[in-house]
Amino acid sequence: MLSNENENPAWIAEKVGENISGIAGTGAEYFESLAASIIAAAILAGGDIVLISLSFWVAAAGIISSMVGFFFIRAAANGSSKNDLLYALYKGKMITSTLLIVISIAIVMVFFESAGEGYTAVSCVIIGQFYGLLIGHATEYFTSHNFAVESLNKAGALSASMYMIKAFGIGALSVLIPAVIIVATALACLYLAGLYGVAIAAVSVISTLSTNLACDAFASISKNAVSIVAEAGEGDNAESVGVLDGTASAVAATGRGFAMGSSVITSISLLLAFEATVGIAVLNINSPTVIGGLLVGATLPYVFAALVFLSCQKAAEAILVDAQKQLDSDSITTDGCVNAANVVSHQEMILPCLYVSMSPLIVGILVGPQALAAMLVGSIASGFLLGSTLSNTGSALTHASKYTKLGSTSVGSTVGCVMNGAVGTALATLIKLMAIVSLTVSPLMGAWTEWGQWYFGFIPFGVCVVGTVVVAISFWMNVEEPTPTAATEEA
């Protein structure tokens, strides 16, 4: 049975998963970034009530700007090309960003007594807006039809292995420009307004989340509409459906890049807030604990990504088992596959969440605040590079599958969905969550030295060990596996 047949019980589960991943998951990530960036800005404001208030005003200005920008996202009802649709979306983003900058300047003129201090702060707001737009466009370029799709499809015509190698190469190369943008943004904001400048830039980046989330929703809804129209046999709409499908893939890739970019700048601001809270002025790279913290932090995103990959594989197996049972019994429903994916996904996320939330406590208490700060640095750098590589590789694979129907592109699309929809997004959440947990417990560590209260660090470590054993016994043993039949391989 083909994967897109409506008799396939897993087909509806795929459509539900598209909405959960592209809308609900991304929306939760955006709102987490907004709240975290505001908290970091408030801490780094140093008690200045005007600077504290500015972060809230900028966030509110982003909501108003997004509401206005919505009315400028318009395209012709018939005959619009992919470029027309992309232009309409980008036009709405540009108008939203421009209006946010104008409102921010007005806020500074009203609330700041010192014009110099106000304009340095608003300069960071402007830099933040350019940061978000540039990160999104850089991602869109590396996953675009001209750069990625054409070369991928040429490689796919030769062999599936060349296709996947090419995709990984494109994904790895795609981190270069975003990395340069992140470094330039951080240095510029530090020069203009110090640590607070980085935090208010992070607020600026994510303040227009309404517009960006709407674009992500457009991508998910469009993908579902394309599948439904194709299944309904509406051949007269094939051309318009193809345009919508290609546009949705491009917009989704841009959204993933923006989400990762906003997570990185937010995590950096949270790291700076943590260091300010515990009184760390300089990280001593010659210290063994700092080096150890860096290595541990750089390793965690890989462990987290591995767990998410395995979780997706187990959830897919659960769906396949349920689908096989339904097909054998000739009783086709959609609830079983959706419930199977939901239950397994929640079970498999216990350990990744446990490790991420306990790691800052283990390192910070067992070794000390310096090691924890180093761990955050390592996790941000490693998580950004790995997450961007996987996300952009997945986006390129998914985008390429819209234009050429080869065996390699079909497999690449399936793998790509896991890379950009699950692992890449999860890594963006990882780096923020570790920084948030560290900032939350930072008041406990303010007066500690290295190894000062080391014995308490075995408590969260023990929680991780016990949690691993419980999950292994409860969910990993005696798991029913799908039957590898010819019908299964086609499905």
Measured CA to CA, the distance from residue 3 to residue 231 in angstroms comes to 11
Q: Which residues contact 130 (CB under 8 A, 6 or more apart)?
A: none
Which whole number is the average pLDDT over 273-293?
A: 89
What digits encode the pLDDT tens for the residues 373-431?
A: 999 999 999 999 999 999 888 888 887 777 766 666 677 777 888 888 888 888 988 99
* Positive or negative: CA dihedral 433, 283, 364, 280: negative
Quickly count: other Cβ atoms within 10 Å of residue 68's Cβ: 16
Lowest pLDDT segment from 3-7, 212-216, 275-279, 419-423 = 3-7
Measured CA to CA, the distance from residue 137 to residue 178 in angstroms comes to 10
Q: Which residues contact 73 (CB under 8 A, 6 or more apart)?
A: 88, 89, 91, 92, 214
CA angle centred on 134, ends 133 and 139, rounded to 5°: 105
Measured CA to CA, the distance from residue 228 to residue 278 in angstroms comes to 54
pLDDT tier, 488 (very low <50, low <70, confident <90, very high otherwise): very low
Mean pLDDT (the chain, rounded): 84
Measured CA to CA, the distance from residue 98 to residue 62 in angstroms comes to 10
Measured CA to CA, the distance from residue 449 to residue 31 in angstroms comes to 34
Measured CA to CA, the distance from residue 314 to residue 311 in angstroms comes to 5
DSSP for 209-225 reads HHHHHHHHHHHHHHHHH
Measured CA to CA, the distance from residue 278 to residue 437 in angstroms comes to 14
pLDDT tier, 64 (very low <50, low <70, confident <90, very high otherwise): very high
Q: Which H or E run contains 105?
A: helix 82-111
Tell me, what's the pLDDT at 435?
A: 93
Which whole number is the average pLDDT over 56-72?
A: 91
Q: How many residues does the chain have?
A: 491
Quickly count: other Cβ atoms within 10 Å of residue 324's Cβ: 18
Q: What is the distance between the terminal CA atoms of the chain, rounded to a whole angstrom?
A: 5
Measured CA to CA, the distance from residue 491 to residue 319 in angstroms comes to 11
Whose tokens are 């909405």? That residue is 19
Query: With 80 as the cut, is the pLDDT of residue 224 above it?
Result: no
Q: 403 in helix, strand or coil?
A: coil
DSSP single-letter state for residue 420: I
pLDDT tier, 479 (very low <50, low <70, confident <90, very high otherwise): low
Measured CA to CA, the distance from residue 419 to residue 309 in angstroms comes to 8
What angle in degrees, to the nearest 10, is found between the helix axes of 160-173 and 407-418? 40
Lowest pLDDT segment from 232-246, 296-310, 330-344 = 232-246
Decide: 274 and 198 in contact? Cβ < 8 Å: no
What percent of the chain has a predicted confidence (pLDDT) above 90? 36
Amino acid present at 202? A
Amino acid present at 286? N
Instruction: Note the pTM of the prediction, 2 decimals.
Output: 0.88
Q: Nearest Cα to 65, choosing from 113, 97, 17? A: 97
What digits encode the pLDDT tens for the residues 153-181?
A: 788 777 788 888 888 898 899 999 999 99
Amino acid present at 401? S
Decide: 152 and 392 in contact? Cβ < 8 Å: no
* φ, ψ dihedrals at 442, nearest 5°: -60, -35
